[in-house]
Amino acid sequence: MKTDSKLLRLACVSPWPFLIFFCIPLLVILTFWFPLPLPHNGAKYALLVNNSCFALFVAFRLLYYLLGLTRGVRYGATHTASGDFQDVSQSCGAVRETLAAAGFHFDAGRYGEKHDLGYLGTTVLYAGLLVVLCAGTYDNVRQFSGTLLDGIGVATDLNQIDKYREVVAGPFASAPTSLPKMKIVHQYMPDARYPRGATEVAFRFPDDREQQTILKCPEPFRAGAFDVYMSKMVYEPKLSVTIDNAAPVFSGAVLLDPLVKKENGYGFYGAFVKDNLDGEVWYQPETNRLRMVLRQGPLTLLDKELVFQVDRLQTSGNISFSCERLGVWSELHVVRRRHFPILFIGGFIALLGLVLRLAFKPQRVWLEDVYGNCRVEAVGKEALQVLQQSR
């Protein structure tokens, strides 16, 4: 019987090569669960390179299946069925003529198959995957995501990169040039109306057009090709810890993030490390209560609470802490919008192809001469049914 190249089938048909492209995403997921020194940590664009190679691989397979649509024999003669066969008291030539009349296509040997929608489904599946991978890769190489903390005050030019606390950009991303200036007018603390807080902002665009809106989590404001949205409210107290009100132990700002669930009435929490000291800070906006715990190994040096703008400082033994000021910030994000409609369309096409592949099984047949009779091995039931009806 005819056998195709194993290497060709591995590249064009076998599902095993897909496992190669799942390795790096799996390593990325493992880093969130296990703090292990995995080899991908130093590769900034590991996922991008992986997905780009995956897209090229899927494009190669799509081309292979598209060319197969023009061939009479699409699957090839390899991988015969195991155990599903029938001996027919006819010559292989006669059996071949009977099956050919029923729509089976044969190669130069004794292998044949009937065209099925499952093959078309596989082609459609690869087409959908290619759309998803190309759109995702295009968005990733042009990705721009900036995070900034801003409060009530002067306007902030969102086109200036140095205004951002953190920026994530793809290798071919360009700095924004069409974003508006943004001025925070009012901040709404978390409450029943705005569970994660909200920020009222005034935008002034490069064409002098002005627009005022309230940014509330997680609804974005569309500014051209970018989305501007607020993720949370944060507090940043400037703390000072001294010994005997003279020798400084710690002096600096601590960023306090909102807690998912309040702890002892405190809704915001932050931590810091300074030399051999570990500090934790809690804050309750409703009462301006600020609690600080300072530890040195297993020893607790300080565990005190003060009311901001009421208590000047709090002391435990000869250690004191005070809050010089308290910043109230809105954490805002500016991201280049992704092509989600294209991703959804590609995903739907891939799903449709998968359904066709699962619903329509291949109809394949191998003929072998056995002492003048014909042994028929088949994948799918149609070939054997045709032969039974022809008797």
Pick the closest to residue 176 from 193, 190, 163, 185 (CA basis): 163
Residue 215 has pLDDT above 90, yes or no: yes
pLDDT value, residue 1: 37
Q: Which two structure tokens, joined as six digits, stand for 153?
A: 């005050």
Q: What is the pLDDT of residues 130-174, one digit of tens each?
A: 999 999 999 999 999 999 999 998 999 999 999 999 999 988 998
Percent of the chain with pLDDT over 90: 60
388 vs 333 pLDDT, higher one: 333
pLDDT value, residue 3: 41
Residue 83 has pLDDT above 80, yes or no: no
Bond into 195 cis (ω within 30): no
Mean of all residue pLDDT scores within the chain: 89
Q: What is the pLDDT of residues 167-204, one digit of tens each?
A: 999 889 988 999 999 999 999 988 888 888 899 999 99
Query: Rounded mean pLDDT of 301-323?
Result: 89
Residue 220 has pLDDT above 80, yes or no: yes
Query: Rounded mean pLDDT of 25-38?
Result: 70
Find where tokens 């056998």 sit. Answer: 3
Lowest mean pLDDT, pick from 18-32, 108-122, 314-328, 355-369: 18-32
- What gap in Å lies between CA 220 and CA 155, rounded to an integer? 19
pLDDT value, residue 28: 72
Q: List, edge to edge, every strand of the sheet that includes 181-188.
A: 156-157, 181-188, 198-204, 210-216
Q: Which residues have a Cβ under 8 Å from the Cβ of 374 and sit 6 or more positions away?
A: 87, 88, 90, 91, 92, 94, 95, 367, 368
pLDDT value, residue 128: 97
pLDDT value, residue 371: 87
pLDDT value, residue 42: 47
* Parallel, antiparallel or unpaired: strands 266-274 and 257-263: antiparallel
pLDDT value, residue 41: 44
Q: Where residue 36 falls among pLDDT bands split at 50, 70, 90?
A: low
Pick the closest to residue 180 from 218, 213, 132, 149 (CA basis): 213
Residue 2 has pLDDT above 70, yes or no: no
Q: What is the pLDDT of residues 340-370, one digit of tens each?
A: 999 999 999 999 999 999 999 999 999 999 9
pTM, 2 dp: 0.81
- Confirm if 314 and 304 have CB atoms less than 8 A apart: yes
pLDDT value, residue 260: 87
- What gap in Å lies between CA 282 and CA 288, rounded to an integer? 10
Residue 331 has pLDDT above 70, yes or no: yes
Query: Rounded mean pLDDT of 5-21?
Result: 85
Lowest mean pLDDT, pick from 17-31, 104-118, 203-217: 17-31
Mapped to the 3 state alphabet, what secondary structure does the chain carry?
A: CCCCCHHHHHHHCCCHHHHHHHHHHHHHHHHHHCCCCCHHHHCCCHHHHHHHHHHHHHHHHHHHHHHHCCCCCCCCCCCCCCCCEEEECCCHHHHHHHHHHCCEEECCCCEEEECCHHHHHHHHHHHHHHHHHHHHHHHHHCCEEEEEEECCCCCEECCCHHHCCEEEECCCCCCCCCCCEEEEEEEECCCCCCCCCEEEEEEECCCCCEEEEEEECCCCEEECCEEEEEEEEEEEEEEEEEECCCEEEEEEECCEEEEEEEECCEEEEEEEEECCEEEEEEEECCCCEEEEEEEECCEEEEEEEEECCCCCCEEECCEEEEEEEEEEEEEEEEEECCCHHHHHHHHHHHHHHHHHHHHCCCEEEEEEEECCEEEEEEECCHHHHHHHHHC
CA distances from 188 to 220, 230, 231 (A): 17, 12, 13
Lowest mean pLDDT, pick from 10-24, 37-51, 57-71: 37-51
Q: How many CA atoms lie within 13 A of 165 on its CB side?
A: 10
Q: Which two structure tokens, joined as six digits, stand for 301?
A: 């040096």
pLDDT value, residue 39: 52
Q: Where residue 246 falls among pLDDT bands split at 50, 70, 90?
A: confident
The pair phi, psi for residue 80, each rounded to 5°, is: -70, 160
pLDDT value, residue 217: 84
The partner residues of 366 in beta bridges, in order of sequence, read 111, 377
- Geometric angle at alpha carbon 246, from 242 and 248, rounded to 5°: 40
pLDDT value, residue 243: 86
